Amino acid sequence: MIRALVVVLVLALTATGAVWWLWADDGGVTIDAIGDQNQTVARGQLPVFAARGDAARLYTFALANPDTLGKIPCTCGCERFGHVSNRSCYIKDEPAGRVTFTSHAAT
């Protein structure tokens, strides 16, 4: 009886850890080749470099309005870094359920 309880507890903890690992924030901010900060977070969250004030509002807008910012060319010359629109200055990638933000627009 106790052995079965231990097995169930271990399985439950393992499953909980797996779910957390798949959906938790990466937490870490990395620096890319052009010096921008990047952070991947769960969709609905903002990166640490854009968590407050005007930056939070702008990054939230960029995420919620891909068609709008996707039609606006960038004016800082970052197309040489592979940015295809103004939205690229905010969002680097969107893997399933997550968003990789870049600090390019915040700097």
**pLDDT, average across residues 52-75:** 94
Q: Is residue 5 part of a domain?
A: no
Determine the structural domain holding residue 71 and report its residue range. 25-106
For the chain, the domain total comes to 1
Among the listed ranges 7-11, 72-76, 87-91, which one has the minimum average pLDDT value?
7-11
45, 49, 38: which is closest to 23 by C-alpha? 45
Q: Is residue 17 part of a domain?
A: no
Q: What's the pTM value of the predicted model, to 2 decimals?
A: 0.73
Q: Is residue 65 part of a domain?
A: yes
Q: Is residue 10 part of a domain?
A: no
Over pLDDT 70: what percentage of the chain?
78
Say which DSSP state 73 is in: P
Distance, in Å, from the CA atom of 62 to the CA atom of 37, rounded to the nearest integer, reads 17
**pLDDT given at position 14:** 52
**pLDDT given at position 20:** 40
Q: Is residue 34 part of a domain?
A: yes
